[in-house]
Chains A and B, each alone.
Chain A
Amino acid sequence: MKNGFLFFLGLFAALGLSWAGIVLGSNAQLGRLTPYYDANEGQAFPAPLPGVAAEGQLVYRDLNCAACHTQQVRRPDFGADQARGWGDRQSVARDYIFQSHVQLGESRIGPDLTNLGGRKPTAPDAGDLENLLYAGQGGMPAYAFLFERRKVLGQVSDQALQLTGRLRPARGYEVVPTRRAQELVAYLLSLNTVYDYPESRPAPAAPPQEGARK
């Protein structure tokens, strides 16, 4: 290899081709995805994140929750995602169009959270999630720094956690979620992919071919 100019061109071509193919190619395919309007329901899906949930997505990012949790349900015949109740259908690109910081994740030390707010038969409520974050469970550590333990002044706050056993604060004290914890919980509860888009339905079975009976 003697020609430095050609060598340079080759280097840039190598990087440029994969960028054009993967990044620009997928951009051409998905860059203009819009919400899907369902005339029967009279609304478009997915819905934009409420303000507090959008703030919570930043908390999710700051804490790097994606180190342990994914947000992608795989297709029905691939893994036990549906059997675990993470969602009735696979995630599709349209699910994420309103997420400013998409966190698909690469590790499942904890469960998938794609459809946490739409779980069946019952989705967790804010109290469940706050207790889980405060106390931890199984392989999940406690995120106690997202909560404030304080003296009760007057009435007990209606935001105070309902804690039992060794977690119950001393008499005259209460544990309340900080603003960050409330935002994070609002974000987690906003994760809902129950609506079935045309592209998320399984492909129809191929019609029997002529002569198949023979």
Chain B
Amino acid sequence: MTSAPISAGPDDPSAVETSGRIPLLLLLGSALAWLLVSGLLALIGAIQAHTPEFLARCSVLNYGHVQALQETAFVYGWIANVGLALALWILGRLGGQPLRAGAWVVTGTLVWNFGVALGLVGIAAGDGTALPLLQMPAYVQPILLFAYAAIGVAGVLAWTGRRRQIMFAAQWYAVAALFLFPWMFSVAQVMLLWVPVHGVLQAITQGWFAQSLWTLWMAPLALAGAYYVVPKVTGRVLPGYELASLGFWCLLFIGGWTGGRHLIGGPAPVWISTIAIVTSTILLSHYLIVFINLRGAIGGPGTALKFISFGLAAYVLGGFVDALTSMRVVALTTQFTWFDEAQRQLAVYGGVSMMLFGTLYFALPRLTGRSWASPGLLRGHLALSVTGIALLVVSLGGAGLIQGRELNDAAKSFATIAADTRPWLIAAAGAQAILLLGNLLLAVNFLWTAGCCCCCCRPKAATEAFAS
């Protein structure tokens, strides 16, 4: 870990790319399909937030269901598929090995997406668990675990068969995300669905799982991509790279403890929220180190870096807002309001998703051997994503501050609060429409590019692309 992976290309790039092309394109295509589904659901939910009667007669799409469906499609559909594809691709490239067990990846991807689809049908039919980030019915969860294991085989082989003993930061994050998910996911299944713990312990366990899913899976998946792409594009050693391992272990060891900040003032033991406040502040050092390492992305060349630099800024800002809202004096106003949602969107969409977009824009031309079919669609996606996320976070944040202030004033009725936050929530719905449109552009561009690759692939194409 003495140098950044600027020269850590595979020994035979064409073999690496061609061996993984079909499985990884399948993962990426599924991810984009789920991204569109979740975007549509997010738009419906955002309209229902300010106009509650919208689709209210439809039991399948009542507000509670739409929230659960959207979150599931986004996390288990979009982030899981794209994150796994990019993590496998990075592990293959840095390991200098062609992707092995491709058939397992294809099988796992098909089963995983069947499981997610079944989970969404289950939630819509009323079998959901109503546990945030673990909404799918209990009967779907083992299917997902099996599918994940099948996809993970390729990750294990890529990591154990790597040609260099030294591991780079991108590999740490990719390996951590790949291998920790099954553990936290199965523990949560057992303790919340199969042999549920009693009473408030359910909320505490759920809080631990949700936070671990964020800090030990979603964030590392995105950071793996960023740590790989930034030095590749800028062609420079990452500044302060010697600090990177500290930032990594800080996220891993501290992250899981910060989940209790949502339980402030409630029936959970006070020590849980106090630990969460302290650890949220300690975790700031992780965000600072990530910023120091990746700051070269800001103002760097190419669209991939533009996505990643926006994602980096949102990720770091999200971490600071998280630490701030964990303080009791701030939580007094922001707890249980749209402000929490604004923070989540800033971190998960603005941070993680944007970094994943950036890595995807870097990876696909190398994977397919063709540059993106339409630079115009690419620029359109960037502009719409940046506008959409900024508008979404500002509008939800504004709604949250009004809601929080008025909730603390017992004289304000819920009808008054709904009326006062309505303009902000309408703006948030507009932001969701913008984001959906942007993602549609990405999906068209992806199909166009991948379709061209499948129609007229040439054996040398990948090598040329890598050389470029």
Interface residues, chain A, with chain B CB atoms under 8 Å away: 1-2, 4, 7-8, 10-15, 17-19, 21-23, 26-27, 29-31, 33, 60-68, 70, 72, 74-75, 78-80, 83-85, 90-97, 99-111, 136-145
Contacts and interface: CB of A to CB of B under 8 A. Distances in A.
A173 to B, nearest CB: 17
- 3 tightest A-B CB contacts, nearest first: A18-B256, A64-B64, A74-B265
Given A64-B64, A142-B56, A79 B408 contact: yes
B265 A79 contact: yes
Contact of B414 (A22, A72, A100, A139): A139
B202 A141 contact: no
A141 B52 contact: yes
B148 interface: no
B405 to A, nearest CB: 11
20 contacts: A14-B253, A14-B256, A18-B253, A18-B255, A19-B208, A22-B207, A64-B65, A67-B67, A72-B267, A78-B332, A79-B265, A79-B407, A95-B267, A96-B199, A96-B267, A102-B203, A106-B340, A107-B340, A138-B415, A138-B418
B460 interface: no
A144 B67 CA distance: 19
Contacts of A70: 336
Given A7-B175, A99-B199, A80 B408 contact: yes
B130 A108 contact: no
A138 B58 CA distance: 19
Given A1-B166, A79-B265, A80-B407, A107 B336 contact: yes
Contact of B260 (A1, A10, A22): A22
B48 interface: yes
Given A19-B187, A67-B63, A79-B332, 10 more contacts: A14-B249, A23-B191, A72-B267, A79-B265, A84-B410, A93-B199, A96-B267, A101-B202, A138-B418, A144-B57
A108 B199 contact: no
Contacts of B132: 106
A41 B448 CA distance: 74
A83 B128 CA distance: 34
Given A93-B268, A108-B337, A139-B415, A65 B180 contact: no
Interface in B79-125: none
B191 A30 contact: no
A91 B417 CA distance: 24
B167 A26 contact: no
A95 B267 CA distance: 9
Given A33-B199, A104-B267, A106-B262, A15 B216 contact: yes
B376 interface: no
B278 to A, nearest CB: 12
B137 to A, nearest CB: 10
Nearest to B416: A138
Interface residues of B, number: 86
A143 B61 CA distance: 11
B184 interface: yes
Contacts of B216: 14-15
Contact of B265 (A31, A65, A78): A78
B38 to A, nearest CB: 16
A83 B418 contact: no
A139 B208 contact: no
Given A106-B132, A143-B62, A62 B409 contact: no
A23 B190 CA distance: 13
Contacts of B269: 26, 29-30, 93
B11 interface: no
Contacts of B415: 137-139
Nearest to B271: A25
Contacts of B202: 101-102
B212 A61 contact: no
A39 to B, nearest CB: 24
A11 B175 CA distance: 9
B332 A97 contact: no
B189 interface: no
A64 B252 contact: no
A65 B68 CA distance: 11
Contacts of B194: none
A187 to B, nearest CB: 13
A100 to B, nearest CB: 7
B59 to A, nearest CB: 4
Nearest to A93: B200
Given A79-B265, A84-B410, A95-B267, A23 B204 contact: yes
Nearest to B166: A2
A37 B202 CA distance: 24
Contacts of B328: 78
B64 A102 contact: no
B36 to A, nearest CB: 22
A26 B204 contact: yes
B172 interface: yes
A101 B198 CA distance: 9
Contacts of A90: 265, 267
A7 B200 CA distance: 34
Contacts of A104: 200, 203, 263, 266-267
A62 B128 contact: yes
A2 B165 contact: yes
A143 B56 contact: yes
A66 B64 CA distance: 7
Contacts of B64: 63-68
A7 B172 CA distance: 9
A38 to B, nearest CB: 19
